[in-house]
Structure 1
Amino acid sequence: MNLKRIGSWAIFILAVIYFLLPLVGTLEFSLRARRGVYSLDAYRNVLDDPQFQQTLAYSVILSIATVILGVLIVAPTAFWVRLKMPRLRPVVEFITLLPLVIPPIIIVFGYIRLFNTSSILPLTGSARGTDFLLAAGYATLSLPYMYRAVDTGLRAIEVQTLTEAAQSLGAGWATVLARVILPNIAVAILSGAFLTFAIVIGEYVIAALLNRPAFGPYMVWMGSNRAYEPAALAVIAFGMTWASMGVIQLLARRTRFTKG
């Protein structure tokens, strides 16, 4: 037992070193913008850059829109499949896995081909239409993660019992989904929302080819034009990711406490 415990701790320590050492190196390099001393100059340059503020705000707003769009698509689908069509579940799971094997560049070229200014629905001809296409592309990329998060949440509750109980009280399908099912899978939706947020913040191909001012293309531009600022930007992005994880965990605990 002692040897197993020592081996487990050794593997854990090696894993921590493997994941944290590059981050520590990136942090140390980002502090070397001023020759001979450590400074926060690179972080000041990034935070004071109007383009950083604009692209980050744009991506955050877009991530919220993508999460809403993803929930509107995935939650009713997963609920209906589990309740009424369990035999179609393997087919739906296969469809939701397709974004993992279809490159984003194919998705965005399909959008440009189908929704250009010469098509019946010229979404690329306006900023709002292109924003909608970008949110749809991100919702597609996050589909495998959002669907599995929601499906896992549905497994943890008695969908059939809750639905029948709500319908016996006169609730319609929309009421059952909005006021019974969704509150009970809120933690699962938050998990999918976090993964969606990470995808939106870091994705480059779709945003670049649709020519939208997103955070991913900004990070790539910064990496090809500056020296120390890209390292500072990577640390800031890592911090935002972990902060969002902390917020999600806090909301999940409050949800469990409320249910309890």
Structure 2
Amino acid sequence: MTPGRVWAWVAAGFGAIYFALPLIGTFEFSLRARRGVYSFDAYRSVLADPQFQATFLYSVVMALLTIVMGVLIVTPTAFWVRLKLPSIRPVVEFITLLPLVIPPIVLVFGYIRLYNTASVLPLTGSTLGTNLLLMLGYTTLALPYMYRAVDTGLRTLDVRTITEAAQMLGAGWLTILARLILPNVLVAVLSGAFLTFAIVIGEYVLAALLNRPAFGPYMVWMGSNRAYEPAALAVIAFAVTWGCLGLIQLATRLAPHTRARR
């Protein structure tokens, strides 16, 4: 092995240790709920908690709704910008980066100020309205990741040729988007979707200040009131996040084989 390759492996090893040791320590601590022996009592306690089940289910539903909303907003926008308005693409990219710059607490206080019960549109006065605000907030937070994923997928396509050929065959815009563009960028959409899912599952600020029963506030509450269960909950959340990343990799690897069969 060349010296450069050796140092690359050494750096990778240090990086793996840096990330693995805290996780191993957290996992080991979560097994100490029963004195003197290792056990999964903390995990059983967390998984059997009705509040865990309710908050996790709520966050999963909100994540799925956020993914649908993100796909419906981002895919047509990225397609139209690349096809008809390439000159404003830097502006659109800048707008999609704003959620990384503006803190979520600013976003949620803006929601509360604009949509409180004294405003023209009192969304915070009802459960449905507050859930809608939370979903829109999640969509905003996931916008940078979803847009870049879809835009990267569109770069691999000759969008103009595909669109012109479909129009010559009599296809409308909805047909072009649903039957041509979306299937061809499905892997990119899935990448953005899994990242969105991971963001929603762990998000705290929006859900806490809008007083929604989400998984993020439950994790914080558990950390303030229990000893071993928070460590178990952290491992579970980490497993969910890495599961999403693994699904991204799986979808990316399966995509070439699927296209080859077609």
TM-score by length of 2: 0.96
Distance 1:94 1:200 in 2: 22
Match of 1:59 in 2: 59
- How far did 1:60 drift? 0.4
Match of 1:136 in 2: 136
- How far did 1:49 drift? 0.4
- How far did 1:246 drift? 2.8
1:119 is paired with a residue of what secondary structure? Answer: coil
C-alpha offsets along residues 23-68 of structure 1, whole Å, 9 cap, x if unaligned?
Answer: 0000000001111111111111100100000000000010000001
Match of 1:231 in 2: 231
Match of 1:181 in 2: 181
- How far did 1:248 drift? 3.5
C-alpha offsets along residues 122-169 of structure 1, whole Å, 9 cap, x if unaligned?
Answer: 111111111111010000011111111111000011111111111111
Distance 1:53 1:2 in 2: 52
Match of 1:170 in 2: 170
Match of 2:197 in 1: 197
Match of 2:118 in 1: 118
Q: Aligned pairs, how many?
A: 260
Match of 1:155 in 2: 155
Report 1:1-260 matches (<5 A).
Answer: 2-260=2-260
| Percent sequence identity over aligned pairs | 72
Contact 2:201/2:215 (<8 A) preserved: yes
2:157 is paired with a residue of what secondary structure? Answer: coil
Distance 1:185 1:147 in 2: 12
2:240 is paired with a residue of what secondary structure? Answer: helix
Write the letter of the residue equivalent to 1:67.
Answer: I
Write the letter of the residue equivalent to 1:203.
Answer: E
**Superposed CA RMSD:** 1.1
> Structure 1 regions of 5+ residues with no counterpart?
none
Range that drifts further, 132-141 or 112-121 = 112-121
> Structure 2 regions of 5+ residues with no counterpart?
none
Contact 2:46/2:52 (<8 A) preserved: yes
C-alpha offsets along residues 59-103 of structure 1, whole Å, 9 cap, x if unaligned?
Answer: 001000000111111111111110001010000011111111111
Contact 2:149/2:192 (<8 A) preserved: yes
Distance 1:12 1:249 in 2: 19
C-alpha offsets along residues 169-202 of structure 1, whole Å, 9 cap, x if unaligned?
Answer: 1011111111110100000011111111111011
1:142 is paired with a residue of what secondary structure? Answer: helix
